[in-house]
Amino acid sequence: MELKDKICVVTGAASGIGRALCRAFAAEGARHVVCVDINGEGAAQTAKDIGGHAFRVDVSDEAQISAMVDAVEQDIGPIDLFFSNAGIAVGGGMETPNGDWQRSWDINVMAHVWAARKLAPLMATRGGGYLLNTSSAAGLLNQIGSASYGVTKHSAVGLAEWIAISHGDDGIKVSVLCPQAVRTEMTRGH
Distances (CA, A) of 111 to 10, 90, 154: 12, 17, 14
Q: Are 56 and 76 in contact (CB under 8 A)?
A: no
- DSSP assignment, residue 34? E
List active site positions: 149
Residue 14, SS3?
coil
Question: What is the rounded distance in angstroms from the CA atom of residue 142 to the CA atom of residue 49?
Answer: 35
Q: Hey, CA dihedral for 63, 7, 155, 38, is it positive or negative?
A: negative
Distances (CA, A) of 21 to 6, 109, 129: 14, 20, 18
